[in-house]
Amino acid sequence: MSQVTSMDRTLAALSHKELDRVPLFLLTTMHGAKELHMSLQSYFRSADHVIKGQLRLREKFHSDCYYPLFYGAIEMEAWGGDVIFYADGPVNAGAPIIKDLPSISSVQVPEVSSSPRLREVLKAIKGLHEAAQGEVPVLGCVMSPFSVPIMQMGFEPYLELLFHQEDRFWELMEKNEAFAIEWGNAQLEAGATALGYFDPMSSTTIIGKEKFIRTGLPIAQRTMAALKGPCTMHFASGRCLDIIDHILETPAVAVGVSSLEDLGELKRKCAGKLTLLGNLDGISMRRWTPVETERQARMAISKAGRGGGFLLAENHGEVPFQVPDDVLWALRRAVDKFGTYPLKDA
């Protein structure tokens, strides 16, 4: 029998089957800069750096995916905004590009091909796709049209728009959907195996279920249906258990789930229907010992690993810069020790 690849392992999990072991998705973005002894700003300046960083990280920790996400705020650069770099943390969006609600009408949807920064991401995806040779999933990322206004205009003005300016809200959603579809499909064309559809605004941590059903849900359904590849609906560590039945109504093949919710209950609701991605707490992970790391990984695997349908990962969609290599090594060892099929009792 030929050697099982990360792609084989992942496809089995998505098909709710057990192969050799639970897949480990180390969603490391900033750690590549550490490997190359570079500042984050220098590292993310070039696709070549990200390709090299991702290759080194997988060689070191044997993750089951490549994750060429530069930073979520890179989309704002395409819309004409600025970003703010930090020495030891994720890149943030700068000043809002939408200064007031009437200006929504004058906002122009950017073309992906006209953005130098987005072209660098596509170059990184293409390079990793070529290196993977079909054996390792390459994960792209698109911000949900429903969530990206948090960066476009700021949170408080966006809530004003969402709850009190319905016509202008849907006008902005139409523009954001057009961009998300073009951007997502460009990544798939460049070689991304699948996309993370990041939608923290739809989480019940932020808005109520009924508001999600009227807004975030139909937006997700339309956008993902227009994307020409599989998507994971990811709530960036926000809660989703109360809306999981509605997530099943979207084209998503997987869902990113939070450490704040019961992984066992999520598994029961999604078994055979929707793959779970998560749910390790990246914030507390910064202070885990190898022993605690092993305990947390074992607990997650025991709750969600049986029957496939589970990808072990950090729950926010980006392993914090401060998480030490010892923890990442311990995760690797824990999956080999406790995630091999058939699973042993916890």
Helix (H, G, I), strand (E, B), or coil: what is residue 274? coil
Divide the 346 residues of the chain into consecutive groups of 10 and give the mean pLDDT of each group.
91 98 98 98 98 98 97 97 96 96 96 97 98 98 98 97 97 98 98 98 97 98 98 98 98 98 98 97 97 98 98 98 97 97 83
CATH number at residue 129: 3.20.20.210
Residue 22 lies in a domain: yes
Q: Dihedrals φ, ψ of 305, to 5°?
A: -80, -25
Residue 346 lies in a domain: no
Please write the tens of the pLDDT for every residue from 103-113: 999 999 999 99
Name every residue whose Cβ is closer than 8 Å to that of residue 148 and which is 6 or more positions away in sequence. 75, 176, 180
The predicted pLDDT at position 99 comes to: 94
CA distances from 143 to 180, 219, 329 (A): 7, 12, 30
Residue 216 lies in a domain: yes
Residue 292: Cβ within 10 Å count = 14
Q: ∠ at Cα 133 (26, 73), nearest 5°?
A: 45
The predicted pLDDT at position 1 comes to: 53
Residue 344 lies in a domain: no
Residue 265 lies in a domain: yes
Residue 1 lies in a domain: no
| Separation of alpha carbons 285 and 314, rounded Å | 9
The predicted pLDDT at position 164 comes to: 97
The predicted pLDDT at position 346 comes to: 53
Residue 176 lies in a domain: yes
Q: What token pair was written down for 50?
A: 């990200």
CA distances from 79 to 8, 115, 118, 139, 251 (A): 37, 9, 11, 22, 27
Does the reported pTM lie above 0.95? yes
The predicted pLDDT at position 344 comes to: 86
Residue 345 lies in a domain: no
> Domain count of the chain?
1
Please write the tens of the pLDDT for every residue from 21-79: 999 999 999 999 999 999 999 999 999 999 999 999 999 999 999 999 999 999 999 99
Domain that holds residue 222: 6-338
Name every residue whose Cβ is closer than 8 Å to that of residue 293 and which is 6 or more positions away in sequence. 285, 327, 330, 331, 334
The predicted pLDDT at position 22 comes to: 98
Please write the tens of the pLDDT for every residue from 248-263: 999 999 999 999 999 9
